[in-house]
Structure formats: C-alpha cells, structure tokens
Chain A
Amino acid sequence: MNTQTIALPANDNILAILNFNKIANDLKREAVKAMGMAACQARCLSCGHCSAQRCGNR
C-alpha cells in the first residue's frame, strides 16, 4: 500500500474533477435519448482508441 503523504487538492477541486461533464439543461433531452444506447456502443464512442472509434470486436 502506498503510504506516501500526498497533499490533497482542495475539496471543491476534487468534486469538479469527479463531476467534470455537468451538462446544461438544454442538452438534457439529447442526453436522455442517448441513454437508450447500448453500454458497449456508448463505450465504443468514448474510448477513442481505434482509428475510427468503431472496433466491432468483443
């Protein structure tokens, strides 16, 4: 276990990092619609790894 003393960022900074993608109300409708996307599809769009963001793999 890492026992090094670490200076913690201020708590409000932490929460800003943990809740980075707060969206405005006018985008809520699209966001709710996107909840119908399959988990693997949503992951596929966010991983950014493969060249066209479509790996079509397991």
Chain B
Amino acid sequence: MNITTLHNNSYSYLRQTNEIVQGVVDDSRYAWTFTPPSEFSSMPEVYMFIIAITEQCNLRCTYCCYSGEYEGNHSHNSRTLCEGDIQAIYDFIAKTAKTKPIRISFYGGEPFVNYPLVQYAIQAGQQRWEDDVTFSVSTNGTLLTEERIDWLVNNGVELAISIDGTQPFHDAHRVDAKGNGSYTKVRNALAYLHSNTFNQYPKVVLMMTLPSVSKLMPIAQAWHKDEVLQHYAPTHISGLTPNFLQGVAKEDWETLKIQYIQLLDAYEQHPEWSVLQTFFDEIVSYWKNRLVFEVSESTPLSTCMPVNTKLYIDANLQLAVCEKFNDRFRIGSINDGIYWQKANEMTKEYYRKRKNRCTYCPAVRMCNMCLTSIEYTDDQWDTLCHNERLYHKLHMFLFCEMAERSMLTKPSVPTLHSEHCTLNEIEENDISALRTIFSDADTPRYLPDLCDIAQTNDGIKQILKSFRTYLSKNEGFLWGIRKHDTLIGLVATMDLSTNPTIFFAMHPKYRNQGYMQESVRLATQYICDTKLANELYTEVDVNNIASQKVLEHCGYKVKEKQSLRFLYCYQNNNTELHTS
C-alpha cells in the first residue's frame, strides 16, 4: 500500500512488519497465511449479553436494517419478550458467563416501547448478580421522560442514544411511520441529562449514523453551535450497512481523496468541532494503535468464535455471536445452548472465503470483513474487498498527512515549576476552588468580565472550554497555580497571535507571599522562550497596587495610563525577567 502526501512525500505500508516506511517499497511477494481454525466446543471469554427486548419500534428510520429492505433480516413487528423470558435468559447467562462482572445490553427495535419490562429486567438482574452486573440500553432517545432518566441514572444504566446531528440532519432519516422527525424529543432528553447529571453521570454514549460523508461538515458545524449538543461529543460515527438489494458501488480513489482532504482541512481549522474529532479519531485509531512487529508464520484468523466476548439473544430467544448477524445465522437458543456443529461450520466457511482472498491483500492485518461477511456471495465480496482496501489506503493517507501537519499530537498545558509553585492544567474537579477565587471581594473588582461569567459552575466550565479551544490553536493557556496539590490561583494568557494578553488571580489566603510573582514570571518566560509571543499586555486597575507590584517585579512596564486603568506591557527583546 503506497501513498503520497500533499507535500509529495511517499510512504509505503509493509504488511509483514505492520510498519510504515518512506518511499515506494513493494512488499507484495509475502504470502500471508492463516492458521486453520480448530474445533471448539466452548466460549470461555463471554461476559457480555445483548438482549433484544422487542422487535417493535416507534420509529421507522429510513436506513434501519430492520426496515424490510435488508435481505435476511426481519422487519419491525410486535414480538416482545415477557418476564418469564427474562428469567429464562438470566438462567442461561448464569450458566454461560465465564467472567464477571457481566454486562447486559438491551436492544431492539426500541427497548423503551416496553419500559416496564426493561425496568423489570434491570431489577431482576441486580437481584440476581448484585454488583457483578452492569446494564446499558441502546435507544432512539424518544421515549426518555425525565422520570425514566432519573430512574435509569440512579440505577447506573448506561444509555447509548442514537442521534445523527441537529434537526435537519437527524430528521432526514430518523422519523416515525408518518414521517415525523424525532429530533426534538432526543434533544430534550440530552438537555435534561446534561443539566441534571453532568458531573455525576458520564454513562451516555452518542451513536451517529452518517448516510453520506458529504454531510459531515455541515453536521459538525451545526453540532458545535447547538446549545445542548455542544456539551457532548459523538462516541461513534458509522456508515450504513451495505445493502446489495439497493446496490453497492465500488468507490473511486480520487473522488474519496479529494473529499477527505477537504474534511481534513476543515478539521485543521476547527479542531474543537467534536464531530470532526470523533470522525478523525476513529479513522486513525487503527494506525495509531497498531502494534508494529514482524510476522513470519501463519497467524490466527479473527473468527470471533470461540474467543468472542459477547452473545446476542434475539426476541425469539435464539442466539447469535452479535447483533450485527443476519437472522439466518443463529447458532443456538437459550433452551438448547450453542449448536456447536453450526458454529464450527460458520468459522470454517469464513476461513475458506478468506484463505485465498487475503494471501496478497495489503489490508490483511486491518480488515473489517468479519464473520458477519459469510452472508455475502463471491461477487459481493469482490465489491466489499475493493472498498475495504480503498478505505484503508485512504485512512493511511490521512494518518500520514495528519502526522506531517502535526495533528496527531494533542497539545497539552505545559507543567511549569517555580521554587514554591507548580503551574499546570486546571481540571473540572478544581471548579469549587475556582469559585472561591472568583467570588472573593477583590477578584470581581479587578477582573469584572471574567467574574461575571464565573458566577456559576456552568460559567466556569465555559471558561475552561474556551481555554481548551485556545490551547488547541496554540493561542493561549490557562494555568492553575498549585502549592503542593492545592489550587491557590490562576494565571492565563490568550490571543497570543493577535493581542497577547496575560491575567491572573490569587486566592485571598495566599496573597502577598510571592506566589503570584513566581507564577507570572514563569508564565511570561514560557511564552517568550517558546516564541509564542514577544510581548504580553495586561490592564490593571489603578487601585490594584498588589498586581502592579507583581508585574513590575516581573519586568512589565506601564505603557499607557488611563483614568481607571494602567496598561502594562512586557517586551521580550528589551527586558530580562527580574528575579527579586
């Protein structure tokens, strides 16, 4: 696999070593071999169980794999489990789960069309396994009332909520049987979750389906501006399952490359857009995390079974390896257990399909054509293999391009040390200490604009978020000043490329002890040494004698005197930082 970046640097991926090297190197001669799968009659790693509570749904999303448009899959119907089924499933789980804690995920359809049953199932599971079980629910988010959210949060249930962007994008596909959009209800649920449980409950994952990459930019922009969604990042962005009944095209390299370069440029300009962050994080995830080592013998083929960690139980109490399997590929039932012969036949069939196809394939080590692919014909495999190779080449190109643009390393607040203090990143668990600093009588006098925003926890979070944006663009830093582990003050720089500014505030208990002078000197020195700016400005109230002294001891000089304020400036080329 060879690519050339926009700076005309060529890189080659060598599948035998999993390495990327410079230049054009041909490694196509190495014949990849898989170890034939062994017979198995147990699944020793299973701890996760996905239970389809119902095949009913209150929505009719246009791309749903249960819409009736996908060959081999059922359509939505009223089939729903009952309490007796839940107990029978739990008996099966108790016999089958090899490790604890057990993870139980409720699936559908839409699980909450039968909310009482979901509640019953959670309570029954807690009764049976106590702390050795965790729960999650995949939901379209439309049936989450405040009362239900309270109950689910109080019971520690993780919520995987589907949302495809702001209203025009979400409602384009996620509609009910009459074509009405579902966005408003989902947004209301997310708003309630955020306002009531933000710090206490991180167990909300957002699942986005992206029918077309051409929509990604407007989705990302609108998400960032939305007052509720901006507090969330999508956890996972997926495309549509290939649907050969409607036709699956072979993708074109040049078209894809142009499209994705535009997206990368946008991401470079807007690293704070969370949708683009998730999108590109997922793209480069394999490349960033891959283990670089040489293989010289046959390797195991990832056949899911028998090392699968999960099992799927459908609404007919039939078993599958996971929920992505076509209905035709059930491998047992909760009454009969696993049909081991069928399970083994499936892995052998998969091995047969891949054995010859993958021998000289450049994407053999990263291929996503998993065991679910056994449903496809040879011709369909040809199309999917073509696209799979193309996308991996594209992702490699983006990975190399991002490396050249220094986009792979996330900037972090540098930790600085002085004789008595440490300057480092302020975290959200520092908020209560910050409230004390911002609410002290002097701070609002001398930093009125900042203290206006910082009157609430949400306001302080907004400040922290703004400085994360500054950090991502190398435009500023917000340091917490710590004496040992205690946050005693802050010093911040911002707008470094246009109007380089510094400001600071200290907890009243720690004033007039030299800590702020050490900290301002450190921060100023850092900005100048790293050449982020050659000068720094700050406005100081004429009555704020303490701050004036701090600045003057650090080499700042009065540049302008106004009736109520002095404008101080530090210039790197003229003044050395004093140590007094």
Instruction: Mark each residue of chain B from 283 to 301: 1 if its CB lies under 8 Å from any CB of chain A, else 0.
Output: 0011111111111000111
Residues of B within 8 A of A38 (CB): 302-304, 307-308, 370-371
Residues of A within 8 A of B365 (CB): 35
B368 pairs with A39, CB closer than 8 A: yes
Q: How far is the CB of B359 from chain A (nearest CB, A)?
A: 16
B344 lies within 8 A of chain A by Cβ: no
A57 to B304, CA, bound (A): 16
Residues of B within 8 A of A55 (CB): 136, 160, 205, 235-236
Which positions 2-45 of chain B face chain A at CB distance < 8 Å?
6-7, 9, 11, 19-22
B291 pairs with A33, CB closer than 8 A: no
Q: How far is the CB of B89 from chain A (nearest CB, A)?
A: 15
B303 pairs with A51, CB closer than 8 A: no
Among A17, A18, A23, A37, residue most surrounded by chain B Cβ atoms (within 10 Å): A18
A54 pairs with B371, CB closer than 8 A: no
Residues of A within 8 A of B578 (CB): none
Residues of A within 8 A of B48 (CB): 54, 56
B310 pairs with A21, CB closer than 8 A: no
B289 pairs with A46, CB closer than 8 A: yes
Residues of A within 8 A of B20 (CB): 15, 18-19
Residues of A within 8 A of B295 (CB): 32
Instruction: Mark each residue of chain A from 10 to 41: 1 if its CB lies under 8 Å from any CB of chain B, else 0.
Output: 01001101111111010110011111111111
Tell me whether A11 and B302 are in contact in the complex, defined as CB-CB below 8 angstroms, given that A17-B408, A21-B290, A32-B295 are known contacts: no
Interchain CB contact (< 8 A) of A47 among B105, B285, B292:
B285
A6 to B501, CA, bound (A): 26
Q: How far is the CB of A44 from chain B (nearest CB, A)?
A: 8
Interface residues on chain B, number (Cβ under 8 Å) = 68
Residues of A within 8 A of B69 (CB): none
B324 lies within 8 A of chain A by Cβ: yes
Interchain CB contact (< 8 A) of A49 among B236, B262, B292:
B236
Among B105, B202, B309, residue most surrounded by chain A Cβ atoms (within 10 Å): B309
B543 lies within 8 A of chain A by Cβ: no
Q: Which residue of A lies closest to B266 (CB)?
A: A2
Among B203, B310, B324, residue most surrounded by chain A Cβ atoms (within 10 Å): B310
A10 to B301, CA, bound (A): 37
B345 lies within 8 A of chain A by Cβ: no
Tell me whether A11 and B22 are in contact in the complex, defined as CB-CB below 8 angstroms, given that A1-B262, A28-B293 are known contacts: yes
A57 to B310, CA, bound (A): 11
Residues of B within 8 A of A15 (CB): 20-22
A47 to B301, CA, bound (A): 22
A36 to B539, CA, bound (A): 62
Stretch at the interface among B399-407, B417-425, B463-471: B399-407
A2 to B9, CA, bound (A): 16
Instruction: Mark each residue of chain B from 234 to 274: 1 if its CB lies under 8 Å from any CB of chain A, else 0.
Output: 01101000000000000000000000011011001000000
A31 to B365, CA, bound (A): 12
B138 lies within 8 A of chain A by Cβ: yes
B355 lies within 8 A of chain A by Cβ: no
B203 pairs with A51, CB closer than 8 A: yes
B353 lies within 8 A of chain A by Cβ: no
A56 pairs with B304, CB closer than 8 A: no
A23 pairs with B292, CB closer than 8 A: yes
Q: How far is the CB of A10 from chain B (nearest CB, A)?
A: 11
B367 lies within 8 A of chain A by Cβ: yes
Residues of A within 8 A of B286 (CB): 43
A9 to B308, CA, bound (A): 42
B134 lies within 8 A of chain A by Cβ: yes
B103 lies within 8 A of chain A by Cβ: yes
Tell me whether A51 and B368 are in contact in the complex, defined as CB-CB below 8 angstroms, given that A8-B404, A15-B22 are known contacts: no
Interchain CB contact (< 8 A) of A1 among B134, B261, B308, B367:
B261
A57 pairs with B103, CB closer than 8 A: no
Q: How far is the CB of B130 from chain A (nearest CB, A)?
A: 17
A27 to B293, CA, bound (A): 9
A51 pairs with B302, CB closer than 8 A: no
B291 pairs with A21, CB closer than 8 A: yes
B384 lies within 8 A of chain A by Cβ: no
A57 pairs with B160, CB closer than 8 A: yes
B203 pairs with A37, CB closer than 8 A: no
Which positions 40-74 of chain B face chain A at CB distance < 8 Å?
48, 50
A54 pairs with B103, CB closer than 8 A: yes
Interchain CB contact (< 8 A) of A32 among B11, B299, B406:
B299
A to B CB contacts below 8 Å, 12 in the list: A1-B265, A8-B7, A11-B22, A17-B408, A35-B300, A38-B302, A38-B308, A38-B370, A46-B289, A51-B158, A56-B48, A58-B138
Lowest 5 CB-CB distances: which A-B pairs, in order? A36-B300, A56-B105, A2-B265, A22-B292, A18-B20
**Which B residues are within 8 Å of any A CB, using their own CB?**
6-7, 9, 11, 19-22, 48, 50, 103, 105, 134, 136, 138, 158, 160, 202-203, 205, 207, 235-236, 238, 261-262, 264-265, 268, 282, 285-295, 299-304, 307-310, 322-324, 365-368, 370-371, 399-400, 403-406, 408-409
**Which A residues are within 8 Å of any B CB, using their own CB?**
1-2, 6, 8-9, 11, 14-15, 17-23, 25, 27-28, 31-43, 46-47, 49-52, 54-58
- A1-B265, A36-B301, A47-B282 given; 8 more Cβ-contact pairs under 8 Å: A9-B406, A14-B400, A21-B290, A37-B307, A39-B370, A47-B236, A54-B48, A56-B160
